[in-house]
């Protein structure tokens, strides 16, 4: 319980405006959650798992936060852990996801746009994930057996 408390009192800074983000309680389909909102640009920071609670669309949430590969395509640095982030897309909506802690950055209106997508019955294109799943697969392989990795590419 103590850890949870510290976590919820943690303050983040908006990576765009460099101002402290404000805690905001939002209603979800389950118990309310506290999210971090930038008072200036209205960007939102969601810790791991929070996007799922807000969207209640498992498929879309998983699509955006799982199999995100190992390469960073985003210039953003995670406000939570300081690690690199990647850009994930649902059609025209681009969100930044931390490769390390799984937190998600949403610009103004992106949460609403994602909810709309979900209500419209958006079906993620799994084939777009192919490259990133391949990256993850290679990354794991590289970690477990470095020699195998090189053999595969020198053949
Ligand atoms: Zn901001
Ligand atoms: Zn992070």
User: Residue 111 and residue 117: Cα distance in Å, rounded?
Assistant: 10
Query: What is residue 126's DSSP assignment?
Result: G
Question: What mean pLDDT do residues 85-90 have?
Answer: 94
Q: Is 25 exposed, middle or buried (0-12, 13-18, 19+ CB in 10 A)?
A: exposed
- pLDDT confidence of 153, banded at 50, 70, 90? low
Q: How close is the Cα of 149 to the center of ligand 1, in Å?
A: 42
User: Residue 7 and residue 89: Cα distance in Å, rounded?
Assistant: 28
At residue 86, does pLDDT exceed 70? yes
Find, among 62, 85, 82, 64, the residue nearest to 73 by Cα.
85
pLDDT at position 90 is 92
Q: Which residues surround ligand 1, an ion (CB under 5 A)?
A: 14, 16-17, 38, 40-41, 43
For residue 40, give both structure tokens. Answer: 């200036």
């Amino acid at each position: 319980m103590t850890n949870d408390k510290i976590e919820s009192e943690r303050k983040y800074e908006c990576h765009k405006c460099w101002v402290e983000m404000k805690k905001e309680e939002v209603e979800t389909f389950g118990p309310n959650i506290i999210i971090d909102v930038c008072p200036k640009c209205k960007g939102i920071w969601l810790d791991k798992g929070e996007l799922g609670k807000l969207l209640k669309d498992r498929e879309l949430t998983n699509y955006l936060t799982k199999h995100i590969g190992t390469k960073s395509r985003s210039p953003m640095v995670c406000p939570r852990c300081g690690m690199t982030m990647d850009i994930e897309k649902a059609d025209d909506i681009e969100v930044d996801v931390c490769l390390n802690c799984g937190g998600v950055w949403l610009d103004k209106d992106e949460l609403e746009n994602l909810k709309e997508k979900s209500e419209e019955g958006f079906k993620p294109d799994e084939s777009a994930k192919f490259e990133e799943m391949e990256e993850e697969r290679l990354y794991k392989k590289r970690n477990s057996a470095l020699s195998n990795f090189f053999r595969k590419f020198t053949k």
